[in-house]
Amino acid sequence: MVFSNTSTNQGIVEQARSLMRVDSTQYPTAKIVASVNNYLDTCAGYLIGNDRRFQWDDTNHTKLPEGTTALTANQSDYSFLTDEQGNKILTLTRIDILKEDGKYERLELIDQEDIPYALGEFENVAGIPRYYDKIADNIIRLYPKPSATIAAGLKFYFQRTPSYFTASDTTKEPGVSPLLHRGFVVSAAYDGALTLGLDNLSALSIERQYEEEKMRKHFNARNKDDTNQSVSGEEVCSI
């Protein structure tokens, strides 16, 4: 579903206003933009927090959610705040290091709780990093710290903020399954009804709850080609 289509009145903007029974003067596009972007955050937050085996990314992004950065001699801490297009990085999913043979190798994720002695004593001689600790969602510490500077020495993979809408968008669609696009209409209409004190607020509240539940069920069931299964709390892999 496109964001806006004044010819057919079938865009998110037009359908939201239709549910509210208002016009563009009573409820301008900028307010619908805010509601749609808030619902995008709802979708992204649920996906990232709920599914660790499927690295969701907004389909409107034109670059893959990965990048490289230089290893700097004797620097142990690295932050990854935005991608190359300025989108905020929400969480890191993997870190690889460039080896002498020109190939990347995966670093092992550890946590400081796994180190039974003083952190300053763990891998405290500079060398080739083997481990990384996520200090925050987008900040890591390498162990040991690198002994040399290497261009593109780290390759990082991440999940990021969605591709947000602006008031000038027309043919752009939400970067999730088309089966979920009505949720953006209902969410925007609900926000409008709440703001304007409309009589159909209660009905739209029920519709919004239905759309959010549909979203959760869709995300929980969509990764059907993953053969891993949970049996009695244990993960079994067929590979």
Asked whether residue 154 falls in the same domain as residue 135, the answer is: yes
Q: Same structural domain for residues 218 and 171?
A: yes
Asked whether residue 83 falls in the same domain as residue 144, the answer is yes
- For position 219, what pLDDT does the model report? 80
E strand segments, the chain: 66-71, 77-79, 89-98, 104-106, 108-110, 131-136, 139-143, 150-160, 229-231, 234-236
Give Cα separations from 180 to 13, 43, 44, 58, 131 (angstroms): 15, 10, 13, 13, 39
pLDDT-derived band at 102, boundaries 50, 70, 90:
very high
- 109 and 192 part of one domain: no
pLDDT > 70? residue 235: no
Residue of higher predicted confidence among 46 and 146: 146
Considering the domain boundaries, does residue 182 fall inside one?
yes
- Single out the residue in 108, 134, 160 at which a domain terminates: 160
Give the DSSP per-residue string, 168-195: T-SS---SS-GGGTHHHHHHHHHHHHHH
Residue 122 lies in a domain: yes
Is residue 50's pLDDT more than 80?
A: no
238: in domain: no
Q: What is the pLDDT of residue 238?
A: 32
Q: Domain range for residue 185?
A: 12-57+163-231
Q: What is the pLDDT of residue 70?
A: 97
Condensed to tens digits (0 to 9), the pLDDT of residues 143-170 reads 999 999 999 999 999 999 999 999 999 9
Residue 100 sits in the same domain as residue 86: yes
Given 138, 160, 182, the domain boundary residue is 160
What pTM does this model have? Answer: 0.85
| Same domain? 117 vs 131 | yes
**80 inside domain:** yes
213 and 96 within one domain? no
Does any domain span residue 2? no
Lowest-pLDDT range of 111-115, 125-129, 139-143: 111-115
Whether 6 is in a domain gets the answer no
Task: Please indicate, yes or no, whether residues 32 and 114 belong to a single structural domain of this protein.
Answer: no
Is position 5 within any domain? no
Residue 239 has a pLDDT of 31
pLDDT at 232: 37
* Structural domain count of the chain: 2
Q: What is the pLDDT of residue 222?
A: 64
pLDDT (0 to 100) of residue 196: 97
CA separation for the pair 141, 154 (Å, rounded) = 12
- The number of C-alpha atoms within 13 Å of 89 and in the hemisphere containing its C-beta is 23
Helix (H, G, I), strand (E, B) or coil at 119: helix
Same domain as 225, residue 192: yes
Residues 94 and 151 in one domain: yes
Collapsing DSSP to helix, strand or coil, 117 comes out as coil
Please, what is the average pLDDT of the chain?
A: 91
Query: Closest by alpha carbon to 189, among 10, 70, 36?
Result: 36
- For residue 76, the SS3 value is coil
Spatial separation of the C-alpha atoms in residues 171 and 173, rounded to whole Å: 6
- Confirm whether 3 is domain-assigned: no
- Of the two residues 21 and 225, the one the predictor is more confident about is 21
Report the pLDDT averaged over residues 23-44. Answer: 97
Q: Same domain for 172 and 215?
A: yes
- pLDDT value at residue 236: 32
Same domain, 155 and 204: no
Domain termination residue (choose one: 160, 181, 216): 160
Considering only residues 51 and 111, tell me which one the structure prediction assigns the higher pLDDT. 111
- pLDDT above 90: percentage of residues in the chain: 81
Contacts of 75 (CB under 8 A, 6+ apart): 145, 146
